[in-house]
Amino acid sequence: MTERKNLFSLENEKELDIAWCPGCGNFGILNILKNVLEEMEEITPNNFVLVSGIGQAAKIPHYFKNNAFNGLHGRALPVASAIKMANPELYVVAESGDGDMYGEGGNHFIHNIRRNVNITNIVHDNRVYGLTKGQASPTSQRGMVTPVQVNGVILNPFNPIAVAIANGATFVARTFVGDIKGAKEIIKKAIRHKGYALVDLFQPCVTFNKINTYAWFNEHTYKLGEEHDPSDKMKALELAFQEDKLPLGIIYEEKGKPTFEEQLTIYKENKDPLFKRNVDLNKLESFINSMR
Amino acid sequence: MKRTIKEEISIVLSGEAGQGIQTIERLLTFILKREGYYVFATKEYMSRIRGGSNSTEIRVSSKPVRSYTEGIDILMPLTKESVEHLGNRVTEETLIIADNESLKLDNKNIFDIPIISIAKEIGNTIYSNIVAVGVILGLFGIKTKTIEDYLRERFEGKGEEIVKNNIKAASEGYKLGKEFTDKGEIKVIIESDESLKDDLLISGTDAVALGALAGNCDSIFSYPMTPGTGVLIDLANFSKDFDILVEQAEDEIAAINMAIGGWYAGARSMVTTSDGGFALMEEGVSLAAMVESPVVIHLAQRPAPATGLPTRTGQEGLNLVIHSGHGEFPRLVFAPGTLEQAFEITQKAFNIADKYQIPVFILTDQFFVDSYYNVKKFDLSKIENKKYIVETDENYKRFDLSKAENGVSPRGIPNFGKGLVVVDSDEHDEEGHLTEDLDIRVKMVEKRLKKGEVLVEDYISPELFGNENYKYLVVCWGSNYNVVKEAIARIDNKDVAMLHFSQVYPLPDSTVKYLEKAKKVIDVENNATGQFAKLLRAETGINVDKKILKYNGMPFSVEELTAKIREELK
C-alpha cells in the first residue's frame, strides 16, 4: 500500500498552479480520486486514462500523474469510449462538470449510456458554470439568479439520474464531496462495474453558487441505507425523482449486461488491442481480387 | 429503324427508386466485364427511398471508358416518366427497349418486348429485371455460360429454384435480344478482350474503403450522410473478414472525437461524411491539430449550402476543408481522380497522417463514389504500412521539443512502454499539461507549423496528360480527371494538355512551373465560384484565364466538356 502512496501525484505537485478557487469542491474530488486510484491495486498510471472536456472540473487530469486526454467542451465521452474500444485493457474514466457532460455533451451522454462501453463517468455537479463565471448550468435549480438568467432560471433542471436509468445505464450513483468515505467507495465500485457507470458527484462552487453550498448539500441529501435494493429499477426511478431530499449512494445497479466491447466481433477471439494488429495484406489481396 | 452501334455503346436504365435498377446495373456490368468488355457505370438519383425518377448509365466499349456521356444509344425505361425525365438525352438516335404493353410510350424507336408477361410465366414479376438483363446481353451475343455462371454465383444463397428461375428469365430475354440482332434491327459490334475478365469491377466507394483497409485502418466512426455513407457500409461489410471496429456515432461531432480518441489509444481511425456533416466535425479537426493526432477524413462532396442537393454531385467542399478548424496548423488534402488513385491515396493517407500527426483529407464527390469501372487487379506486394507509435520510457514527454524532428515528436500511446501520454486541447507544455506560458506557446506553434514544411516529401505531384509543349492547359482536380482526359483525347490537338491535381492542398511545388508554361489556363470545376482557381491564385499568384464551371448537381458530360474546351481554343 505504502508504495502506492503518491503513485498518481506529479513530481512537482507542491508547485502546481491549480486553477481552482480556494475552497472549491474540486479539491476534494481530486483527493478522493487520488486515494481511490492509490487503493485500487489493479490500476497504474500507465493502464489508466483520465479523459475530460472543458470547464473547471475538466482541468483535473492536469493535477494527476497518469495518461490523460483533456479534449473539447462536451466531448469527453466520445473520446473516452473510443479509447476503451481501441484498447479494452485500459481503465478509462471520463470526468468533467455538469455543464460539460449534461449541457454541451448532452447528446453524447445519452448515447454513451446506450452504448454501455465499460468506462466510468464522474460528473462534478456544482449546478453552475464556473469557468465562464456563474451562468446557469443544466442542473441549476429554478429561480437561481445569474449574470445571464437575471430574473432567475425558468428552465426545469436536468435530471441525470432519471435520464441514465431510463436509457438503460447499469450503474447510476450519486455522491457528495463532503462524504469522503462514501464518495470513495462509490467511485471504486463504479470503476469496477462492468459497463458504463455514472457517478453524479455533488460539489459546491464557493464563488458562483451561493445556493448549493456545503451546508445546503448536507441539509438536502441523505444516504441510502442498507434496505435500498439497487437492482430495483422502479424504486431507483422513484428515488431519481425525489426532490425534497436527494438520495446519495448507488441508486441503480444491474449486473451482467454485456458491454459494448464484449459484443464486438473483433474481440471475440482476439483480445489484443487494436494497436497490436495489422491487416494481412495477402488475405486482403485475395479478398480484393474476388471483386470480379 | 435499323441501327448499328460500333466500338462503344451507352445504355441507360431508368425508373423509380425501388424498381431494381441497381440489380440490373450490377448484373449487366459484371457479366459484360467478365466477357471482356470495358465497362463504366454511373447513376443519378433523387433523394427519396421509393418512386421518383432515377437512372443509371452503362458505357460498354472496346477501349477504357471512365466518364459520363450525355448520349444514349439504348434506353431501357421501367416507367413512362423515365423518357421525359431524361429530357434531351433521348434523341432520334436513341433506341428504346421497353415493355410497351404496360408503358404505352409514344416513340418511333421502340422495340416492344413483353418483359412482364414473360416474368409472370416464369412465376413472378420480380423476374422482369432479369428478363431485361437477358435482352441486353442478347444484343451482345454473350456466351450463355458466362451468364449462367454469374447468376448461379449471385443467387446461390437463395436456393436452387430461384437460381433456375433467374437463368430461365435471362435466357428468355436473351432470345429476344438475339432476335433483334439476327434480324439486323440492332447490331452491336464491340470487340472484347478475354484478359479483362480478371479485372476488378469496383466503385469509388469501394476504392476508398479498400484503400483504407490496405492502409491498416482498423476503425471507422461515422454518422450516415449521403454520399459519404458508402465507405462506412463497405467497411462494415469488410468487417466480416477483417478486424475493423465500426461504430455509427450519435452525430458527426462524436464521430471525429471518437476517431481522435482511437488514434490516441493506438488505433488507425477514419471518418467518412459529406460537406454538411464535416461542417460539424470542424472543431474536431482543430482538436486533432492541437493534440497532434493523426486522423483520416473522407469527405464525399455534394452540392450545398446546408442540405443542398443531397444526392447530386459537386466540388463545393474545397474551401471548407482547407480552411476548416480554427487556428493555424498543417493539413494535407487529397482529391483522387481515378479509382486506382483513390485506392493508393487512401492507403497512403493513414501512413502520412501517422507520420506527421496531422489531419489528412480524401475529397471525393457523389459522382466519384457512385461510379464504377473495371481496373487492373491491385498489386499489394509493394504496400508498406508503418506505424509510427513508439514504446515510451519513463522520461517520455508527448510534445518533447528536443526530440521533435521537423516538428514531429515521437508519439506514444497509453500502456505501451513506461511513459505517460498526456494531451490537451489547451496550449500545453512538452508534457502535455496546459500552460499559459507565452514563450512555450510560440515554440509549440512553430513546432506544429514546422510539420507543414516537411510534408513536401510526401506530396503527390499533379499529373500531366497530353503534349508537354502545350499552349492550352486544362486544369482540374478530383473526379474531373477522366472526363477532362476523354475530352482532350477527343479534341486531339497537340496544343492542349490536361493537368490534374490529386493533391489540392498544399499545392505541389511543380504547380507554378506548369501554369507559367501555358499561354492559356482553363480551369474546370463542379462549383459556381472556381474554388480551385482561387486557391491557385492565392498560392501562386497566377490567375487562370478561363473557368468552365458546372453546378447544377450533375457531372460534366464528355460531350459538353469537349465543346466547351473547343470553344476556348478559338
> Which pLDDT tens digit goes with each residue over B238-249?
999 999 999 999
At residue B61, what is the residue type?
S
Q: How many CB atoms lie within 10 A of CB A203?
A: 28
Which three cell numbers, joined as nine digits, stand for B200? Answer: 476488378
B390, closest residue in chain A (CA to CA): A275
Average pLDDT of the segment spanning B100-128? 92
Q: Which residues of B246-282 are buried (b: 16+ CB within 10 A; e: fewer)?
A: bbebbbbbbbbbbbbbbbbbbbbbbbbbbbbbbbbbb
Residue B249 C-alpha, separation from nearest chain A C-alpha, in angstroms = 9
Q: Which of A121, A75, A118 is nearest to A100 (CA)?
A: A75
**Grid cell in block for residue B1:** 429503324
Decide if A110 touches B, using CB distance below 8 A. yes
Task: From chain A, pick out residues whose CB is under 8 angstroms from the CB of B218.
Answer: 86, 274, 277, 279
Nearest to B357 by CA among B405, B295, B297, B402: B295
Cβ-defined contact of B425 to A289 (cutoff 8 Å): no
Using CB atoms, pick whichever of A66, A80, A284 lies closest to residue B214: A284
Residue A89: list chain B partners with CB under 8 A.
415
| pLDDT tier, A2 (very low <50, low <70, confident <90, very high otherwise) | low
Q: What is the pLDDT of residues B196-229, one digit of tens each?
A: 999 999 999 999 999 999 999 999 999 999 999 9
**Three cell numbers, residue B38:** 470495358
User: How far off is chain A from B419, nearest CA to CA, in Å?
Assistant: 7
Arithmetic mean of pLDDT, B540-548:
97
How many residue pairs from chains A and B have C-beta atoms closer than 8 A?
203
| pLDDT of B380 above 80 | yes
Closest CA in chain A for residue B212: A279
What's residue B18's pLDDT?
86
Phi, psi of A252 (to 5 degrees): -140, 135
A290 in contact with B at a CB cutoff of 8 Å? Answer: no
In percent, how much of chain B has pLDDT > 90? 96
How many CB atoms within 10 Å of residue A190?
24
In B316-352, which positions are buried (b, 16+ CB within 10 angstroms) versus exposed (e)?
A: bbbebbbebbeeebbbbbbbbbbbebbbbbbbbbbbb
User: Is the pLDDT confidence value at B1 over 90?
Assistant: no
**pLDDT tens digit string along A115-169?**
999 999 999 999 999 999 999 999 999 999 999 999 999 999 999 999 999 999 9
Q: What is the pLDDT of residue B19?
A: 87
Local confidence band at B300 (pLDDT 50, 70, 90 cut-offs) = very high
Is the separation of the CB atoms in B173 and B134 below 8 Å? yes
Q: How far is CA B537 from CA A282, B492, B543, B550, B568, in A?
A: 45, 29, 5, 20, 20
Instruction: Show residues of chain B in contact with A68, CB under 8 Å.
Output: 420-424, 432
Binary contact (A46, B415; C-beta < 8 A): yes
CB contact under 8 A, A85 and B433: no
Taking CB atoms and an 8 Å cutoff, what residues of chain A touch B426? 70
Nearest-CA distance B264 → chain A (Å): 7
The answer to whether residue A287 neighbours chain B at the CB level (below 8 Å) is yes
Residue with cell 455462371: B149
In the numeric block, which cell numbers belong to residue A211? 445556493
Q: Residue B266's closest chain A neighbor by CA? A: A275
Q: At residue B313, does pLDDT exceed 90?
A: yes
Evaluate the CA torsion angle B307, B308, B309, B312 in order and state its sign.
Answer: negative
Handedness of CA B528, B529, B535, B541 (dihedral sign): positive
pLDDT tens digits along B91-111: 999 999 999 999 999 988 999
pLDDT tens, residue by residue, B258-275: 999 999 999 999 999 999
Largest CA distance in chain A: 73
State how far the Cα of B505 lies from the Cα of B528, in Å rounded to an integer.
20
Stretch B557-568: mean pLDDT = 97
The CA distances from residue A245 to A220, A221, A230, A239, in Å, are 5, 5, 18, 10
Contacts of B216 in chain A (CB under 8 A): 278-279
Check whether B354 has a pLDDT greater than 80: yes
pLDDT(A1) > 70: no
Structure confidence at residue B272 (pLDDT): 98
Considering only alpha carbons, which residue of chain B is nearest residue A291?
B200
- Proportion of chain A above pLDDT 90, given as a percent: 95
Residue position matching grid coordinates 497530353: B466
Rg (C-alpha) for chain B, rounded Å, is 26
In this complex, is the C-beta atom of A153 within 8 Å of any C-beta atom belonging to chain B? no
Residue B558 has pLDDT above 90, yes or no: yes
Best of B150, B380, B382, B390 to substitute, by most chain A Cβ atoms within 10 angstroms, is B380
> What interface predicted TM-score (ipTM) does this complex get?
0.98
Query: Does any CB of chain B come closer than 8 Å to the CB of residue A292?
Result: yes
* Mean pLDDT, all residues of chain B: 96
Suggest the residue from B415, B418, B424, B434 to mutate for an interface test with chain A (most A CBs closer than 10 A).
B415
Residue B48's alpha-carbon distances to A148, B13, B53, B455, in angstroms, are 44, 18, 10, 43
pTM higher than the cut 0.90? yes
Q: How far apart are CA B62 and CA B44, in angstroms?
A: 24
Which one of A46, A59, A82 has the shortest CB-CB distance to B221? A82
Rounded to the nearest angstrom, the minimum Cα separation between A128 and chain B is 22
Task: Write the pLDDT tens digit of every residue in A208-262.
Answer: 999 999 999 999 999 999 999 999 999 999 999 998 999 999 999 999 999 999 9
* Whole-angstrom distance, CA of residue A202 vs CA of residue B81: 65
Q: Quick one: pLDDT at residue B203? A: 97
